[in-house]
Amino acid sequence: MPYAKPSDVPDNVPVKYKPQFMEVWNSVYAAGIAAKKSPAQAEEDAFKQSHGVINKAKAKDSRDVSADGPGFGPVEGKSEDGGQVSDPQQTLRFAADQPRDADGKFSAGDTGEKAHTTEEHLKAASDHLTLAKQEAGRGNKDKEKAHQEAARKHVDAGFANSENKEAVGNVARTASAAANKRS
């Protein structure tokens, strides 16, 4: 039978968890009855699930996040509301050489000319041209233009990254011919 108030929950459930236990138990019990289970079976399922939820909540509450993450440093104490208070001087667990953008935010690393070798830039340009042709065939002009622009940027970066422009031109022509054969 459903619980009317948290104080009706069995005594083996800590007071802190009684409201949650009651909500889970009542919900599972009602679902069991609605699914045409016997009251005994619905009650058994309700006890299993509500105790499982409470056991997970207890385990979560007892976890030391300063030791096993996702904390960023040792816990110095507890705040008034029970939350963790960490040492503000503690450094975060990020590598010192993590790439950052101009604003100091974390970034994925190099972009533009230095992101790829010359051959990689030209291969990427070829791939973008192939995708541009596919989008043109579908009638999607916006995506076609976006791929053409990306291909142009890769070609520009490939040339800017190269000391031997003749060799780059040969690679570009080869990649372009291969792209034309594929499409």
Instruction: Give the per-residue pLDDT at 168.
Output: 63
Please report whether residue 46 resides in a domain. yes
Per-residue pLDDT band at 72 (split at 50, 70, 90): very low
Please report whether residue 105 resides in a domain. no
Last residue of one domain, picked from the residues 62, 89, 105: 62
Please report whether residue 102 resides in a domain. no
Per-residue pLDDT band at 71 (split at 50, 70, 90): very low
For residue 159, is pLDDT > 60?
yes
Percent of the chain with pLDDT over 70: 62
Please report whether residue 97 resides in a domain. no
Instruction: Give the per-residue pLDDT at 41.
Output: 93
Q: How many Å apart are CA 67 and CA 88, to the nearest integer?
A: 17
For residue 149, is pLDDT > 50?
yes
Please report whether residue 145 resides in a domain. yes
Higher pLDDT, 46 or 157: 46
Please report whether residue 43 resides in a domain. yes
pLDDT tens digit string along 7-65? Answer: 888 888 888 889 998 999 999 999 999 999 999 999 999 989 998 888 888 877 776 55
Q: Which domain holds residue 24?
A: 6-62
Query: In the chain, how many domains are there?
Result: 2
pLDDT tens digit string along 97-134? Answer: 556 666 666 555 555 555 567 777 777 788 888 888 88
Last residue of one domain, picked from the residues 41, 62, 83: 62
**pTM assigned to the model:** 0.37
Instruction: Give the per-residue pLDDT at 37.
Output: 92
Last residue of one domain, picked from the residues 62, 84, 106: 62
How many other CB atoms sit within 10 Å of the CB of residue 42? 19
Please report whether residue 73 resides in a domain. no
For residue 69, is pLDDT > 90?
no
Instruction: Give the per-residue pLDDT at 178.
Output: 77
Higher pLDDT, 146 or 160: 146
Q: How many Å apart are CA 69 and CA 7, to the nearest integer?
A: 35
Q: How many Å apart are CA 3 and CA 50, to the nearest integer?
A: 12
Please report whether residue 91 resides in a domain. no
